[in-house]
């Protein structure tokens, strides 16, 4: 049925024949200048999320008996001109070759994002017993040493559309780093929140950044820091543990809790926060390794298939597949080291494993993908890295 | 290791994956190279807290049902993956809100029901609505015929079967809607569907628009249970099972030539893979502008690329809410929020930083189990026309700017629908054009390919496809191609490019 269409000419039905010619004409009339490929959006995108950043250690600050801060600046000779901006609370992953191993570790950027605009990051590293990388940093790294780091990563930051403006930070030990960054960001006018930091440590000598935190608190009524020492009684700090009674006076109608520290700290803080019966949205955790029951120390074979070759290494039932690969110098992609970011996602070809799979996507789970950084072997295992 | 392949596919997006699967099924030795560590491109998902968010899919159109199969259904059937996927049909409606006019229109799926309801909203539009759907169905069928005949128009056949299509084939949505004597209000309501294509009524080809709208209303939409990523992973898995190779974290730096002929690709990491045929899921802008050495790019390819306009940039907000959809009062799967019902005014708005319109989807209303009990996944998709967003960003203001735009969009949704969601945000992720640029490397974070306008509308693209094959043995697929962007279009573009490559190969044998 031919429709009557007002204003459409009869001859329009022939027009389709000329579309091709008309298009050709437009093409032929168009510019033959080189195609524009330098788009602002892509350049900015690369500046916020560079694939890698080359840095060198510009300074080393001794914070206390077991902690040092490393000041990182661009390694311009190696091609990095600017460091990427970040949100306070984010981390970078740093690649560290030690012996025959190649390790990557996530460290929170401990300074204000304003420092990034001046081409500087700081990371603050505490010595861990048997920690290969932390011991290397504390004992061996010198000013001038160069490293490869990732772009800033992670979701442990204040998000105004989600979080309350009154933020209570619960920091356990070295978990203070993101909150120093946040406090400095408040000082620099980058972050518009009220921040109260409860900083728990064993003894006074374990506290880091104390002078800087006190200074920040003195100068801004938006920042407050309360120190709680479990193993020592001194003036100007509280003694014991972070409890509901200590927190209560700082609560407002709406308060968001940000928690960062070792596993034991999370567990005890969860007990405290339970008493508030808060919806999930008001409690943010930095990415961390959940509790996992591991079997006795068994040594298994781990076969790793990469793009070019295969490796056969051993892996203990008490270490992650990624740790085993790092120790043996098998280069595998990784960033967060706690199973969250998915960058190390690999295919489990065979074997039995114990794994945190909360952050693995449903379709990936069905297809036997795992995050090697959060997976322990329970038999001989074969995995295939992304390739 | 053997590094010689019959075909190299650059990019494992929807188009690249379908193309690769078809080629391995035809017995070709295929290598897919992908920059990311997972397949799918935009067809992916991500986890925040206890939510797994869909990254991009709003409506999987052209699927239909076994009884009323769409093009995509047939393609997946042909690829042998149909029974490995699970979809939820969306019993949705087309629900449009206009902030300026403070009205909303809620129209059901199904052509008859749609027309009936529209006549209630705009009395007196019945005749023009009937005509519109007649024309829309004819456009759908004519375009299908054209697709099957690779853009060849047999004038006599068309005059006999698709005469109305022929008459309107060169006209815009606005022009044809007016010719139907459709009341303005009804025109505006239907045309508001433009936000899914990114080009307004005064520029967008009627036959393209009408055929999509017809498919949307008559065939409905489907949502995959485990996000669109499930489809991506399945396609990748099938490719590998049949002997194809996919290399992730592999970015192509250059397409290699020897005496004017494609011989392979060079990767950023220095590796070289050899093949005589390439299918690019990467945009022509990037291929002609970056991946091919300048002297090797034909002048016409440069001119064509320069004649085109980049389409809409994406802006998405992903919300995990800590209340159920029911408790929040979210009844629909999809809400279209506009400042102006008029598509041309709305289009103008969307080139401004303060634009606040969006398409909002509530995943739980398609798949009730997509998040924990008592929670809801809501996704906003907004558009920026032109590079206004990028131009306004600097190092310092980026995160604030993202928040500001997102807040505008959420506020607009709350104001239009009266449904309050902000206090219930447990997880939020915001993707700006920069984020889309990062994940796709598309120019300036474009999500809809080249703009459908003037002679770069669907029909001129279809009718010229054979003339624009500028480099021997290089074919393209994806959202920048003939069928334009969108999930079903890009899957189908993979099918088309595989056929073209197979034809190129046959040419060699003879």
Spatial distance between the Cα atoms of B441 and A84, rounded to a whole number of angstroms: 18
Average pLDDT over residues A124-128: 96
Token pair, residue B203, equals: 């520029």
Q: Do B46 and A37 touch (CB under 8 A)?
A: no
Verify that A64 and A125 share a domain, yes or no: yes
Q: Return residues 30-59 of B near A (CB < 8 Å).
A: 37-38, 45-50, 52
Sequence length of chain A is: 387
Spatial distance between the Cα atoms of B174 and B168, rounded to a whole number of angstroms: 11
Verify that A281 and A171 share a domain, yes or no: yes
Q: Which residues pair with A102 in a beta bridge?
A: A97
Q: Can you give the residue range of the structural domain that contains A344? A: 299-384
Q: Considering only residues A209 and A236, tell me which one the structure prediction assigns the higher pLDDT.
A: A209
Verify that A176 and A262 share a domain, yes or no: yes
Q: Is the pLDDT of residue A258 over 90?
A: yes
ipTM of the complex: 0.96
Spatial distance between the Cα atoms of B49 and B413, rounded to a whole number of angstroms: 24
Q: Is the pLDDT of residue B509 over 70?
A: no
Residue B82's pLDDT is what? 93
Domain count, chain A: 3
Answer whether B94 touches A (CB < 8 Å): no
| pLDDT tens digits for range B364-378 | 999 999 999 999 999
Answer whether B187 touches A (CB < 8 Å): no
CATH of the domain at A142: 2.40.30.10
Verify that A276 and A324 share a domain, yes or no: no
Residues of chain A contacting residue B424, judged by C-beta atoms under 8 Å apart: 281
| pLDDT tens digits for range B112-167 | 999 999 999 999 999 999 999 999 999 999 999 998 887 778 889 999 999 999 99
Answer whether B303 touches A (CB < 8 Å): yes
Q: Considering only residues A233 and B329, tell me which one the structure prediction assigns the higher pLDDT.
A: B329
Indicate whether A254 belongs to any domain.
yes
Indicate whether A29 belongs to any domain.
no
Q: Return residues 192-251 of A near B (CB < 8 Å).
A: none
Verify that A350 and A377 share a domain, yes or no: yes
Average pLDDT over residues B95-101: 96
Q: Is the pLDDT of residue B431 over 80?
A: yes
Residue B2's pLDDT is what? 56
Q: Band of the pLDDT at A198, cuts 50, 70, 90?
A: very high
Domain coordinates of chain B in residue numbers? 4-85+226-297+471-509, 110-219, 312-440
Verify that A171 and A277 share a domain, yes or no: yes
Count of alpha carbons within 13 Å of B193, Cβ hemisphere only?
24
Average pLDDT over residues A355-360: 90
Indicate whether A13 belongs to any domain.
no
Q: Do B428 and A35 touch (CB under 8 A)?
A: no
Q: How large is the greatest C-alpha to C-alpha distance in chain B, in angstroms? A: 71
Q: Is the pLDDT of residue B507 over 90?
A: no
Residue B508's pLDDT is what? 73
Instruction: Quote the mean pLDDT of chain A.
Output: 95
Spatial distance between the Cα atoms of A261 and A276, rounded to a whole number of angstroms: 20
Sign of CA dihedral A141, A144, A148, A150: positive
Average pLDDT over residues B418-433: 98
| pTM of the complete model | 0.97
Residues of chain B contacting residue A24, judged by C-beta atoms under 8 Å apart: 464, 467
Q: Band of the pLDDT at A288, cuts 50, 70, 90?
A: confident
Residue B433's pLDDT is what? 97
Percent of chain A with pLDDT over 70: 100
> End-to-end distance of chain A based on CA atoms, in angstroms?
57
Sign of CA dihedral A128, A131, A133, A135: positive
- Residue of B444, B447, B450 to mutate, interface with A, max A Cβ within 10 Å: B444
Average pLDDT over residues B447-458: 97
Answer whether B428 touches A (CB < 8 Å): yes
Verify that A140 and A218 share a domain, yes or no: no
Q: Which residues pair with B30 in a beta bridge?
A: B7
Answer whether B307 touches A (CB < 8 Å): yes
Indicate whether A368 belongs to any domain.
yes
Contact criterion met (CB below 8 Å) for A104 and A121? no
Verify that A274 and A375 share a domain, yes or no: no
Answer whether B135 touches A (CB < 8 Å): yes
CATH of the domain at A224: 3.40.50.80
DSSP letters spanning A289-315: -------S--EEEEEEE-SS-EEEEEE
Residue A340 CA, chain-centre distance (Å), reads 9
Q: Band of the pLDDT at B415, cuts 50, 70, 90?
A: very high
Angle between helix A40-48 and helix B433-440 axes, rounded to 10 deg: 80
Domain B4-85+226-297+471-509, CATH homologous superfamily name and number: FAD/NAD(P)-binding domain (3.50.50.60)
Q: Do A12 and B171 touch (CB under 8 A)?
A: yes
Cβ neighbours of residue B148 closer than 8 Å, sequence gap 6 or more: none
Cβ neighbours of residue A152 closer than 8 Å, sequence gap 6 or more: A84, A85, A86, A87, A90, A91, A92, A109
Spatial distance between the Cα atoms of B35 and A261, rounded to a whole number of angstroms: 34
Average pLDDT over residues B390-406: 95
Verify that A276 and A325 share a domain, yes or no: no
Sign of CA dihedral A51, A54, A58, A60: positive
Spatial distance between the Cα atoms of B79 and B30, rounded to a whole number of angstroms: 16
Verify that A171 and A266 share a domain, yes or no: yes
Q: Which residues pair with A62 in a beta bridge?
A: A68
Q: Is the pLDDT of residue A379 over 60?
A: yes
Spatial distance between the Cα atoms of B497 and B479, rounded to a whole number of angstroms: 12
Count H helices and E strands in chain A, helices first: 10, 19
Indicate whether A144 belongs to any domain.
yes
Spatial distance between the Cα atoms of B486 and A334, rounded to a whole number of angstroms: 32
How near does any CA of chain B get to the CA of A209, in Å? 26
Instruction: Quote the mean pLDDT of chain B.
Output: 95
């Amino acid at each position: 049925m031919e429709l009557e269409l007002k204003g459409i000419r009869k001859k329009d039905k022939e027009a389709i024949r000329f579309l091709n010619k008309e298009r050709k004409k437009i093409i032929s009339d168009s510019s033959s200048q080189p195609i524009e490929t330098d788009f602002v959006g892509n350049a900015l995108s690369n500046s916020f999320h560079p694939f890698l950043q080359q840095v060198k250690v510009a300074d080393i600050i001794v914070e206390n008996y077991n902690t040092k801060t490393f000041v990182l600046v661009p390694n311009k000779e190696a091609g990095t001109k600017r460091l990427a901006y970040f949100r306070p609370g984010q981390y970078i992953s740093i690649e560290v070759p030690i012996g025959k191993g190649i390790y990557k570790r996530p460290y929170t950027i401990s300074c204000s994002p304003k420092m990034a605009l001046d081409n500087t990051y700081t990371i603050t590293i505490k010595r861990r017993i048997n920690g290969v990388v932390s011991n290397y940093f504390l004992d061996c790294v010198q000013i001038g040493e160069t490293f490869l780091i990732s772009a800033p990563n992670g979701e442990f930051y204040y998000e105004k559309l989600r979080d309350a403006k009154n933020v209570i930070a619960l920091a356990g030990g070295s978990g203070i780093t993101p909150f120093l960054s946040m406090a400095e960001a408040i000082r620099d006018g980058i972050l518009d929140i009220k921040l109260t930091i409860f900083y728990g440590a064993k003894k006074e000598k374990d506290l880091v950044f104390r002078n800087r935190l006190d200074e920040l608190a003195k100068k801004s009524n938006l920042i407050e820091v309360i120190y709680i020492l479990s193993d020592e009684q001194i003036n100007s700090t509280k003694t014991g543990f972070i409890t509901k009674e200590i927190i209560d006076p700082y609560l407002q109608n709406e308060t968001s809790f940000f928690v960062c520290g070792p596993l034991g700290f999370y567990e005890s803080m969860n007990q405290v926060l339970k008493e508030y019966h808060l919806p999930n949205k008001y409690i943010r955790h930095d990415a961390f390794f959940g509790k996992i029951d591991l079997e006795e120390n068994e040594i298994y074979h781990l076969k790793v298939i990469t793009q070019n070759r295969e490796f056969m290494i051993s892996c203990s039932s008490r270490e992650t597949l990624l740790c085993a690969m790092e120790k043996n110098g098998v280069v595998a992609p990784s960033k967060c080291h706690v199973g969250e970011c998915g960058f190390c996602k690999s295919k489990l070809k065979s074997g039995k494993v114990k794994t945190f799979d909360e952050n693995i996507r449903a379709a990936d789970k069905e297809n036997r993908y795992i995050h090697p950084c959060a997976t322990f072997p329970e038999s001989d295992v074969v995995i295939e890295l992304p390739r | 290791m053997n590094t010689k392949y019959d075909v190299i596919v650059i990019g494992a997006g929807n188009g690249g994956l379908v193309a690769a699967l078809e080629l391995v099924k035809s017995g070709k030795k295929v290598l897919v190279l992908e920059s990311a560590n997972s397949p799918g491109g935009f067809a992916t998902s991500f986890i925040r807290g206890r939510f797994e968010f869909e990254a991009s899919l709003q409506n999987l159109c052209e699927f239909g049902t076994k009884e009323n199969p769409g093009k995509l259904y047939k393609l997946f059937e042909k690829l042998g993956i149909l029974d490995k996927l699970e979809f939820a049909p969306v019993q949705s409606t087309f629900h449009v809100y206009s902030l300026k006019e403070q009205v909303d229109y809620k129209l059901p799926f199904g052509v008859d029901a749609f027309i009936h309801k529209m006549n209630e909203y705009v009395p007196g539009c019945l005749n023009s609505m009937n005509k519109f759907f007649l024309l829309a169905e004819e456009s759908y069928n004519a375009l299908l015929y054209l697709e099957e005949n690779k853009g060849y128009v047999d004038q006599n056949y068309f005059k006999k079967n698709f005469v109305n299509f022929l008459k309107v084939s060169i006209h815009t949505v606005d022009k044809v809607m007016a010719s139907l004597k459709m009341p303005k209000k009804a025109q505006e309501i239907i045309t508001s569907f433009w936000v899914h294509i990114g080009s307004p009524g005064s520029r967008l080809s009627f036959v393209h628009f009408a055929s999509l709208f017809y498919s949307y209303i008559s065939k409905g939409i489907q949502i995959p249970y485990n996000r669109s990523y499930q489809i991506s992973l399945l396609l990748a898995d099938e490719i590998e099972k049949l002997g194809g190779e996919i290399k992730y974290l592999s970015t192509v730096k250059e397409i290699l030539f020897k005496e004017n002929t494609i011989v392979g690709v060079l990767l950023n990491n220095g590796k070289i893979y050899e093949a005589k045929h390439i299918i690019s899921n990467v945009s022509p802008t990037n291929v002609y502008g970056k991946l091919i050495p300048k002297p090797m790019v034909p002048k016409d390819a440069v001119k064509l690329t320069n004649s085109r306009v980049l389409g809409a940039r994406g802006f998405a907000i992903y919300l995990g809410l800590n209340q159920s959809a029911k408790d929040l009062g979210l009844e629909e799967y999809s809400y279209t929020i506009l400042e102006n019902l008029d598509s041309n005014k709305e289009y103008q708005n969307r080139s401004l930083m303060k634009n606040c319109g969006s398409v909002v989807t509530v995943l739980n209303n398609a798949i009730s189990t997509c998040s924990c009990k008592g929670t809801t996944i809501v996704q906003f998709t907004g558009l920026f026309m032109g590079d206004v967003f990028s131009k306004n960003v600097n190092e310092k203001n980026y995160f604030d700017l993202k928040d500001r735009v997102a807040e505008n969009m959420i506020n607009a949704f709350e104001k239009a629908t009266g449904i309050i969601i902000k206090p219930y945000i447990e997880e939020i992720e915001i993707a700006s054009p920069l984020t889309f640029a990062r994940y796709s490397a598309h120019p300036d974070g474009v999500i809809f390919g080249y703009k459908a306008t003037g002679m770069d509308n669907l029909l001129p693209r279809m009718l010229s496809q054979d003339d624009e094959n500028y480099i021997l043995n290089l074919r393209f697929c994806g959202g920048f191609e003939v069928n334009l962007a969108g999930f079903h279009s890009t899957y189908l573009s993979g099918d088309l490019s595989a056929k073209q490559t197979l034809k190129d190969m046959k040419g060699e044998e003879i």
